[in-house]
Structure 1
C-alpha cells in the first residue's frame, strides 16, 4: 500500500476561513458619526444638483448621445486600445533590456525610462506633432546602396499619428517598470531550478519568468489602461476629435460650456467603471492563486514511498 504526504493542510485552512466568516464587526460611535456626515454630504450634493438650474440637465440629456460625442468616444477607445497595444509590446522589450546583464543595453533602457517618465506627456505630444521642424524628410533604405525612399514627415505625422506615437512611447516607459517589477517578483528558486535544467536565457524568460510574473503585472496594467483612457483627453490640444475635443467643438458653437463638460465627465466616469469591473475580476483571480500558493491549497500529493525511494537512491 502506498501512503502519501499531504503538502497542504486543507482542513485547517477551511476552519480558519470559517472562523473569519463568523467574525462580527462591531460598530462604534466614530463609525456612526462618519455615516451621518457622509449622508449629510450626499444629501447636500444631491440637493444642489437638483435645484441649481445652471447645470442645465436638459442640455446634458440632449447631447449625451449626440453623434459627434459618440464618434469622439469611439475614437477615445480606439486611441486607448492602440496605445496600450503598442506600449505593452515596447514596454516588454524595454523591460527585458532593462534587466539585461549587458551594461550598455541596460543603460540605454534606463535612459529611455528616465526621459519619458521625467518629462510631461503633454510636452511630448506637442513635440511629436512638430517633429517635422527637426526632420522634415527622412530617407529610409539599405546602407551603401541606392535603394532608398524619402518620407515626408510633415505629411506622415498627422495629429492622430502624433497622439498614438506620443502616448505609446510614454506609457511604454511606465509599463517597462511594471513588467520589471513583475520579473523581480519571481522566486529565485525557480530561476535556479531553470539553470540546473540547462535552460537558455530565452527559454527561461518565456517559460519561467514571464508566466510567473503575470500575477504582479496584470493588475497594474489594468490600472494603466484606465489611466490611459483618461489621459487621451490631452490629445485634444493637437486637434484630435476625441471625446473632450468633440464636446469642446459643440460648446464653442453653443456657449453651453458646463453642460457639455458634464457630458464628457459622465462618459469618462461610465467607461472607467466599465473598465474597472473586469480589472477587479482579474485581481480577485490572481489574489486567489497567490493565497493558494502561500497556504499550499490545491498542491499535489507526493507518494511517500516514492519520496523515500528517491532519498535512498
Structure 2
C-alpha cells in the first residue's frame, strides 16, 4: 500500500484530519493596506519637523509634568476606591426589597449617569454660588463646624466629588450585574447554613461575582485615568493642566500634547497589564476559560480531536 493510499484510507476512517482554515484573499489586501498606512505614518513622524521631537524629549521628564502625572494617579486611585465602595452600596440598595432604598439608588444612578461629567465637575467647583457657607451639625439645630464653601471646595476636592460620585453610579450597575449573575441557590444554601444576609453577601455572593465585576471595573479604571484630564478646567494641577501651562508660555502646543499623550499611554499600559493578571487571578477556578483564552488553537484542535469518529468510537 502506497503512502498516498494509506493517507486516503486513514482520512476515510476519520484519522489524522487537520483543520485547515479557508484562505481569504482579502486578508492579503488588508495586510498590504495596513503596511502602506504604517509606512506613511512612520514617514510623517520622521520627516515632519512640526512634531519637534527634541522638545518632546526635553519635557518628557520635566518636574512639572511628573507632578501632574502623580496628581492624575492620585485622583484616579482615590476616586476609584470611593466609587467602588459607593457602587457596592448602591447595588445592594437597588437589589433590596425596600422600595424606598431601591428607588433612591435608582434615582442616584439615573441622575449621575444622565448628566455629563464635565457639568458635574463645574457644578461642584461652583457650589459656593448656592451655599456660601457650609456647616456640620444637627438639622434645624446647633452647628458644630462651619466655614466658607470656597475654602472647603478646592479644585482637588471638587474633582474628587465629581469623579467619585459619577463613578459610583456606573459601578453600581456593574456590581448589580455581577450579583445578578450568581445563582440564587448560592444565597439560599448559605441561609440554610445559618449565615446572615450581610455575611452571605460578603463571603459567598460577592467573591463569586468578582469574576464578572473585575473586567468592566478595570475598564472603568482606565476611563477614570483619562477622565481626570477634565479637571484641568477647574485649575487642578493634573497632567493635562501642567502641559497646558507650559505650552501657553512656550507656544509649543503639539509637542507638549504629545508628551501628555505618551504619559497617558504609559499609565494605561501599566493598568492594562495589572488588569490581565487580576482577571487571571479571579478566573483561576475556570481552567477551561483560561486555556481557551491563552491557547485558542490548541483548544480548537483538542475539541476537533474529541469530536472525531475515533474519539466517539
Provide the TM-score with structure 2 as the length reference: 0.83
Match of 2:221 among 215, 225, 229: 225
RMSD: 2.0
Moved more, 149-158 or 234-243: 149-158
Equivalent of 1:99, from 71, 95, 98? 95
Q: What is aligned with 2:164?
A: 168
- Find the residue that maps to 1:289 and give its secondary structure: coil
Select which of 246, 249, 266 maps to 2:262: 266
Alignment partner, residue 201 of structure 2? 205
Q: 1: CA distance between counterparts of 2:26 and 2:140? A: 78
Q: Take 2:90 and 2:61, find their aligned partners in 1: how far apart are those partners? A: 41
**Which residue pairs with 2:230 in the alignment?**
234
What CA distance in whole angstroms lies between the structure 2 residues aligned with 1:147 and 1:51?
Answer: 66
Correspondences of 1:50-69 after superposition (within 5 Å): 50-69=46-65
Task: Call closer, same or farther: CA 1:49–1:145 in 2, change over 3 Å.
Answer: closer
Matches of 1:192 and 1:146, distance apart in 2 = 47
C-alpha separation between the residues in 1 aligned to 2:197 and 2:51? 60
Equivalent residue, structure 2, for 1:154: 150
| TM-score between both structures, scaled by the size of structure 1 | 0.83
State the alpha-carbon separation in 2 of the partners of residues 234 and 219 from structure 1.
24
The 1-side partners of 2:139 and 2:124 are apart by 26
Superposed CA deviations along residues 84-116 of structure 1, whole A, max 9, x for unmatched, are 111111111111111111001100000000000
When residues 294 and 285 of structure 1 are mapped into structure 2, their CA distance, relative to the original with a 3 A threshold, is closer
In structure 2, the CA distance between the partners of 1:24 and 1:287, relative to structure 1 (3 Å rule), is farther
Where 2:257 maps in the other structure, the secondary structure is helix
Q: Which has the higher contact order (CA 8 A, sep 6+)?
A: 1
Aligned to 1:310: none
Flag structure 1 segments of 5+ consecutive residues without an equivalent: 1-21, 296-313
Call closer, same or farther: CA 1:76–1:119 in 2, change over 3 Å: same
Q: How much does 1:288 deviate?
A: 4.6
User: Structure 1 residues 84, 294: CA separation in 2 closer, same or farther (over 3 Å shift)?
Assistant: closer
